[in-house]
Amino acid sequence: MSDRDAHRAMFVSFEGVEAVGKSTAIQVAGEILNERGVSWISTREPGGTPLAEALRKLVLGKHEERVSDVSELLMMFAARAQSVAEVIRPALAAGQWVLCDRFTDATLAYQGAGRGFDSDRIRILADWVHGDLWPHRTFLLQAQAAVVAARMDARQAGRDRIEQQTDTFFARVARGYETLADADPDRFTVVDTSGTVQSLRDTLAVHLDHMLAERAAR
């Protein structure tokens, strides 16, 4: 692999509230990249390594002991630090695209807008954990309220600790995401996932092809 190949690798994150279809979008994006001959990996947050996955179980699991908001925030970043060091940076250095189910934007939306943490404090942690490594492109997935509600009902019995939060909490999270997207339109692309998988594929293909063309020109 040449230095130019590594330079062309892209870090792409997929964000949004619960049940907007991030897993499906990542699967579809991966299939598109396969068709284009692009080497890629997928990962998720929190998670992606054995240690980070163990932290995921702690932060999302249901416990008799209440998980404090500060503990939740710090566990998110502890898992992220491991993922960045062991998965994301090595893959990008090897010239692979990284498709990531959530990154620090999720923390700004969930723990920031949702829990009420000062975003400046979250950004200080982000600077410590991953420095200037931010996604090259972030797809903010949104779906109609009825679609999200139906999807959440389908997973009622298996909801994790955060998925069990109130509608008011998720409304704050959604507004937090919208604020982030408005502040950084060059990085964020809003995608409606209310339609069919084929319509999602068509939308993502347009954006990914544009990204590939930009990288090829470098």
Nearest to 111 by CA among 188, 49, 173: 173
203: tokens are 């939308």
pTM score, two decimals? Answer: 0.92
Check residue 62 and give its pLDDT. Answer: 83
CB atoms within 10 A of CB 80: 26
- Going by pLDDT thresholds of 50, 70 and 90, the confidence category of residue 3 is very low
Q: Which domain holds residue 42?
A: 3-216
pLDDT in tens, 145-176: 777 777 777 666 667 778 888 889 999 999 99
Buried/exposed code over 25-56 (b: 16+ C-beta within 10 A; e: otherwise)? bbebbbebbeeeebebbbbbbbbbbeebeebb
pLDDT at 66 over 70: yes
Number of domains in the chain: 1
Cα separation, 111 vs 176, whole angstroms: 10
**Amino acid letter, 156:** Q
64: tokens are 């008799």
Rg (CA), the chain: 17
Backbone angles phi, psi at 22, to 5 degrees: -65, -45
Domain of 191: which CATH number? Answer: 3.40.50.300
Pairing of strands 188-192, 40-44: unpaired
Check residue 1 and give its pLDDT. Answer: 41
70: tokens are 């500060």
Question: Worst-scoring range by mean pLDDT, 61-75, 92-106, 128-142, 148-162?
Answer: 148-162
